[in-house]
A = this chain, B = another copy of it.
Amino acid sequence: MARVVVNVMPKAEILDPQGQAIVGALGRLGHTGISDVRQGKRFELEVDDSISDSALAEIAESLLANTVIEDWSVTREPE
């Protein structure tokens, strides 16, 4: 078994209202020095060692991310 992390983030050119809401809240709470926040998703998958990188890419692209508005990346965690 191995752990794979898939990160899914809104594309840079896509507005991220959740992230902007967090920036606003940080300002109201007195936290200065944070100029931008983007909110995305993190998936942690427990996979068999036999699973291929291409299978993981297909899962990320077809099921976990909406590639119209989101970018994704797959990382195998060190054992």
Determine if A38 and B44 form an interchain contact, defined as CB atoms under 8 angstroms apart: yes
Determine if A42 and B44 form an interchain contact, defined as CB atoms under 8 angstroms apart: no
Determine if A7 and B42 form an interchain contact, defined as CB atoms under 8 angstroms apart: yes
Asked if A39 CB lies within 8 Å of chain B CBs, one says yes
Q: Which of A46-78 contact B (CB under 8 A)?
A: 46-48, 50-51, 55, 58-59, 62-64
Asked if A26 CB lies within 8 Å of chain B CBs, one says yes
Note all chain B residues with C-beta closer than 8 A to A55. 31, 33
Q: A35 to B47: give the CA distance in the assembly, Å.
A: 6
| Cβ contacts A to B, 8 pairs, < 8 Å | A31-B55, A33-B47, A34-B51, A34-B59, A35-B47, A36-B45, A38-B44, A42-B42
